[in-house]
Structure 1
Amino acid sequence: MKQVLNHNTLIASIVPRSISTKSTYQNVGRLITHERNRLNAIW
């Protein structure tokens, strides 16, 4: 029972972090796409 509780606590602590990480990845992906388009325009 204690194991399950720890597991749920672990999930509860990880989920918000992964959501914020996901938005960070989206921002980085947008930046990379923007840079790639700029480089393609130069070449």
Structure 2
Amino acid sequence: MSPREGVDLATAIATRGPMPWPEARSVLLDVCRGLAYAHAQ
């Protein structure tokens, strides 16, 4: 798992519009992994 680089999510959506499902799914999975890690600590 590697951190995402580039612009923040709000800027990306404002610039490009809604994400295609595969990209949104990837972002959502990263968020879930981060939450799981935080809860485990």
Instruction: Report the TM-score, using the length of structure 2 for normalisation.
Output: 0.51
Q: CA RMSD in A?
A: 1.8
Structure whose alpha-carbon radius of gyration is higher: 1
Unaligned runs of 5+ in 2: 1-17
- The structure, 1 or 2, with the larger RCO (C-alpha pairs under 8 Å, 6+ apart) is 2
The structure whose residues are more often helix, as a share, is 1
Q: Percent identity?
A: 8
Runs of 4+ in 1 over 2 A off after TM superposition: none
Unaligned runs of 5+ in 1: 1-17
